[in-house]
Structure 1
């Protein structure tokens, strides 16, 4: 455990943290500063006796009296360098409003740096370069505005031009924002569709604030994303509806194409699971979460491409029995398999290929597996998989390919 801060430094940090938050508990502060809760109680009393108006919220924690502010506290050299680095990252962001507001904020922050810190920060700024978004393209200007609407629960009206060049006008309840592949995505409840949808900010043509407000949605962003993971990446062959006796080979108006797959190697992470009691839903969702959070794709050696395979293999019998799921990438060699990952060779064979395209939030992957499950196919149960390639990077207009191993021509 690192050495505890001197008490004066800890007291100063506690005041800063209280200024930056609505309410903090004693246990949070104790963990943050690696001291006991009893020590935090003493620190709070000391601050109160020094004239800091700390308010105790029964059963919640501590906060500062509204309106109370201390003059800016000086930054350490490491903190100042972190802010300068963040400035370079944000300057390359594709949203103009974020860049402008951050530049305003960083100017005020730089104003409180001491002379030597200013000199060092200016020197460091000349030694940092961010290479993504090389041409410094700006594709949207609504990020900061949308943040305000999310916080104030305003219903807004947007004019939206989809990637398929379709114009629509929607009344939406903005919920959250995330960024991926240099694109900002707005998650919102669409009143027209009566469901949550994902909207790319660079496709929003116009935003209009209405006089209406909506009731806050009673779940967190993490809970929403967890539900999406289960919806986007379902297990193969989980029956989502009662199967029909005769089902056409036509899926989403595309005939399933019979192809030959050559032998290939795959490295990734794996889980053994079963569809019984919906265990696979939980297991595979967690596997995707690990794959994303640990950036597994970029840790795989000898990759042939950045396509991500969601592969189902080692069936004990069929979809009613245990099987293994592997999330990974196709590789040229199984040498140097990283610790915690698996590497396997697959013989290929005869496959039926189909594709779906649409908004992942609409559950297109689950619908496709449901249709495949209902088909009368002579399946081999060797290795079935989905491929998430370059056309699947935008979740609002993703194209996903499905490959089903069969024993003979279908």
Structure 2
């Protein structure tokens, strides 16, 4: 009988799995229990022969007949510990409705635990400390309502205060929610803008469920996110005219190329500086020191990828006048800008692209900009930037892209 125990355990777990979803495929079962598809078919036949009313739908999967319920399966000690840890984590989240409803649900679960498990969970709760959000600040109370609206395809009316403190009334079709940097974000189709928008829940001033339904959107969340990446990331280089000659012979950089850059958004840290008297070299070096020392890259939300941009914008004139430098990453949205950082939308347009390669510690960036200043370019002085991608990770042999906006 000992050799039968693993299978008995698996059969019980399969029943629980079937009860947890409307439809479960044979592959889902096989992957969860690390068995072959043939073994799954054999287990299903065993359960059917024991009287479990399993419905098979060809090409879809398995389900248990509606209305049929088995007594609840008891939690293992490890599962109970996981629930307690999840409770402590969720209580630190900033949405009151999530914390309240999860705690209510968990109370019902605790009521059915073994006495020995209850004792251990109470002891364990005193030995776990979550240091995120130490004040247990609650900044929103709409998450659960919005989750219901997403599942019910219900139009929601909100009054929203943007990060620029612009107050607006919107009717939106809730699509998805996600959390980043401690904030919950709603992705919704805005009926006024006729497009998808992202809203921070802590900026929603009021919310009303209208009771009106909308037609479900056909795209998935992954497709939406992929569309965002395509929309805001720079496009592959497309040569619009023949390449110009290099700056000088034997220089380790590529030809000059004319490229078209699509609009994008960036979040990072910034400084106002000027090239006069070498001030920019000092200021930007300090900004890079802060970016690396404070691990800003890891703190930027909604990044498209980990490519670092050094952006120059808000020029007061040409390159000899003051301007703003931003070091950061391209992001999908500016709805969640951490304290101490700034966000900027770049319109894109026509650019000249050059590259240089060498030792970053030997000032190759400054040397390249000196050459760019000497070029006969009809510069726009709106936004120029450097791109530090994978080829820039080797400090002694880094390849850097320079993109200069032109009219």
TM-score (norm 2): 0.65
Does the CA contact (< 8 Å) of 1:153 and 1:174 recur in 2? yes
Matched, 1:85 2:65: no
Distance 1:170 1:326 in 2: 33
Q: Contact (CA 8 Å) 2:171, 2:192: kept in 1 or not?
A: yes
Task: Identify if the C-alpha distance between structure 1 residues 383 and 141 changes in structure 2 by more than 3 Å, giving closer, same or farther.
Answer: closer
Aligned residue for 2:11? 11
In the other structure, the counterpart of 1:369 is 348
1:234 aligns with 2:223: no
- The answer for the alignment partner of 1:65 in structure 2 is 65
Runs (5+) with no aligned partner, structure 2 = 241-257, 259-271, 299-304, 311-318, 336-342, 354-376, 390-400
Q: 2:234 & 2:379 partners in 1: Cα distance?
A: 20
Q: CA deviation at 1:164?
A: 1.8
Task: List aligned pairs for 1:22-61, cutoff 5 A.
Answer: 22-61=22-61
Q: Secondary structure at the match of 1:6?
A: helix
- Tell me, yes or no, if the aligned pair for 1:231 and 1:361 is still in contact at 8 Å: no
Distance in 1 (CA, whole Å) between partners of 2:292 and 2:5 is 46
Aligned pair in 2 of structure 1 residues 405, 51: CA closer, same or farther (>3 Å)?
A: closer
Q: Cα deviations across residues 101-136 of structure 1 (Å, max 9, x unaligned)?
A: 001111111122112111111111110011011111
- Contact conserved, 1:384 with 1:405, CA < 8 A, in 2? yes
Q: CA deviation at 1:205?
A: 1.4
Aligned match of 1:211: 211
Q: Does 1:261 align with 2:281?
A: yes
Give runs of aligned pairs for residues 1-400 of structure 1, distance below 5 A.
6-235=6-235, 259=275, 260-261=280-281, 303-308=292-297, 327=307, 353=324, 360-361=332-333, 367-370=346-349, 376-377=378-379, 384-385=386-387
Q: What is the CA distance between 1:354 and its match in structure 2?
A: 6.0
1:156 to 1:77, Cα distance in 2 relative to 1, 3 A: same
Structure with more relative contact order (C-alpha pairs < 8 Å, separation 6 or more): 1
SS at match of 2:117: helix
Residues in 2 aligned to 1:49 and 1:360: alpha-carbon distance in whole angstroms: 53
1:279 is matched with which residue? Answer: none
Deviations 1:228-258 (A, max 9, x none): 1232332586699xxx9xxxxxxxxxxx975
**Aligned CA distance change for structure 1 residues 176 and 239 (closer, same or farther; 3 Å):** farther
Please list the CA deviations of residues 330-351 of structure 1 after superposition, one character each: whole Å capped at 9, or x if unmatched. 9xxxxxxxxxxxxxxxxxx999
Q: Closer, same or farther in 2 for the Cα pair 1:405/1:305, shift >3 Å?
A: farther
Q: Against the structure 1 CA distance between its residues 203 and 235, is the aligned structure 2 distance closer, same or farther, given a 3 Å change threshold?
A: same
For residue 376 of structure 1, give the secondary structure of its aligned residue in structure 2. Answer: coil
Contact 2:187/2:198 (8 A) holds in 1? yes
TM-superposed CA distance for 1:98, in Å, is 0.4
1:69, CA displacement in angstroms? 2.1
The TM-score, its normalising length taken from structure 1, stands at 0.65
Equivalent pair of 2:351/2:403 in contact (CA under 8 Å):
no
**Counterparts of 2:76 and 2:309 in 1: how far apart (Å)?**
42
- What CA distance in whole angstroms lies between the structure 1 residues aligned with 2:31 and 2:191? 43
CA distance in 2, matches of 1:239, 1:136: 53
Unaligned runs of 5+ in 1: 245-255, 268-301, 310-324, 331-348, 388-402
RMSD: 4.2
Aligned residue for 1:384, secondary structure, equals: strand
- 370-379 or 18-27, which moves further after superposition? 370-379
**Aligned mates of 1:354, 1:238 — CA distance in 2:** 26
Decide whether aligned partners of structure 1 residues 170 and 266 sit closer, same or farther in structure 2, where only a CA change above 3 A counts: closer
